[in-house]
Structure 1
Amino acid sequence: MAAPVVLESLDLAALLCSRICHDLISPVGAVVNGMEVLEETNDEGTKQFALDLIKSSANQASNALKFCRIAFGAAGSAGAEIDLGDAESVARGFFENDKTKLSWNLTRIYMPKNRVKLLLNLILLANGMIPRGGTIKVDPIGEGPSQGFRIAVAGSHSKVNVHAQHLLAGESDEPISAHAVQPFYAGLLLKSCGLTATIEQQDDAIVVTAS
């Protein structure tokens, strides 16, 4: 049975760092592998393959860092606001690829930073429910700086993350791991923004709302 989570600030910071490192290890490792191939081969075709791998992996790592900087970082001083256009840019860089397409239907305005961080974290959470890619559609609930969000995802083998609903509410039936800390952190952002979230299946889509 899910129970309220008590997590020390140092543990929260460490788990978030672990989560960010997890997202960066793969592309950074691919860059290292590509460099090793370049050093060991004289074949022009293999060299070009390695260069392409280095370029794509470096871009992937850069996009992940840009996303994490806003989604998890300080993103300015207390009370700062973030341009939703910047949030859209980092979201497209992080999520859009050959398997996943992002439909962003939010007007470009400045919003309180925690609300924008919440939006990016909810998109990250929703994206995890379409493991083989698909579509992500982001719509507003209401309007202006105090608007909420509706994120609908659809794709092959999509599955509602029931555990995430508890984590968003600050509850869990098991110790918080580096993987589970992200929805738990999103729940902290929800609380700071005075919002509540739901996750539910609606026809062919999984819908995450914050309002």
Structure 2
Amino acid sequence: MPKNPNLTLSGPDLAALLCSRVCHDVISPVGAINNGLELLDDGAGDSDALDLIRTSALNASVRLKFARLAFGASGSVGASIDTGEAEKAAKDFAIAEKKTEVTWSGPRAIIPKNKVKLLLNLFLVAYSGIPRGGVMDITLENPETDARFVITIKGKMMRVPAKFVEIATGTLEEAVDAHSIQPYYTVLLADECGMDLTHIASEDKITFIAETAAA
């Protein structure tokens, strides 16, 4: 049983809410592609329309590839994933968004896929903590043994996402919905991986940590 009292969603509800989250993430760039095609059909602003289509298609592709690793099966049950794939997905995501610089350090390794999913979901939690953009430093320590993931963010209007704190501390009072499912999934993955989640906030940075729980 999960240690956290907020981790109560059934399998079907979890799947449905995660699907809603993925659809929410890709509907904007897909809609922009459609808008660009309509402009082409009208014969107005061909150059601008093509730029919009190219940019939006890239954004949609990046988001779908990220979602496949962060939320999808990505192989058979119990499969392992190269952390290099996670690094590329995170950096491509930030490049497509054009507002945050990502640095990544630590050994490259093949680790259980749920730990890679946890890392990418913690990336999304941290990313949402700098809505105006900024800098994000990701460090992997001992990924193949006593894994420890450290993500530090710096930027304007920094914040620790409230829903993440409530779910991580077991104090969420309302039902999980499509807006809070991503931090919920992050906490669930940490529980499944036997890793503890903590965060440290100061005036100039916020650090999110996932580390192997003490035996």
Q: Does the pair score TM above 0.5?
A: yes
* RMSD of aligned alpha carbons: 1.7
Q: TM-score, normalised by structure 1?
A: 0.92
User: In the alignment, which residue of structure 2 is the partner of 1:189?
Assistant: 189
Counterpart contact for 2:151–2:207, Cα < 8 Å = yes
Paired residues for 1:1-211 under 5 Å: 4-41=6-43, 43=44, 46-96=45-95, 97-169=97-169, 171-211=171-211
Counterpart contact for 2:109–2:143, Cα < 8 Å = no
Shift of 1:5: 4.4
- What percentage of aligned pairs have identical amino acids? 44
CA distance 1:108–1:141, change in 2 (3 Å): closer
Counterpart contact for 1:3–1:172, Cα < 8 Å = no
1:15 partner letter: L
1:177 match: secondary structure: coil
Partners of 2:106 and 2:184 in 1: CA distance: 25
Partners of 1:60 and 1:72 in 2: CA distance: 17
Partners of 1:122 and 1:174 in 2: CA distance: 22
Deviates more, 1:132-141 or 1:64-73: 132-141
Gapped regions of structure 2 (runs ≥ 5)? none
CA distance 1:36–1:145, change in 2 (3 Å): farther
Partners of 1:71 and 1:88 in 2: CA distance: 12
Partners of 2:29 and 2:135 in 1: CA distance: 23
Partners of 1:162 and 1:185 in 2: CA distance: 15
Partners of 1:143 and 1:80 in 2: CA distance: 15
Deviates more, 1:185-194 or 1:5-14: 5-14
CA distance 1:198–1:132, change in 2 (3 Å): same
Counterpart contact for 2:111–2:143, Cα < 8 Å = no
Shift of 1:159: 1.1
Shift of 1:141: 3.6
The size of the alignment, in residue pairs, is: 207
Partners of 1:185 and 1:143 in 2: CA distance: 20
Shift of 1:189: 0.6
Shift of 1:105: 0.7
Q: TM-score, normalised by structure 2?
A: 0.91
2:195 match: secondary structure: coil
Q: Deviations over 1:137-184 (max 9, x none)?
A: 101244535411000111111112233123135551111110101111
Partners of 1:17 and 1:158 in 2: CA distance: 28
Gapped regions of structure 1 (runs ≥ 5)? none
Q: Deviations over 1:13-35 (max 9, x none)?
A: 11100000010011000000000
Shift of 1:98: 3.1
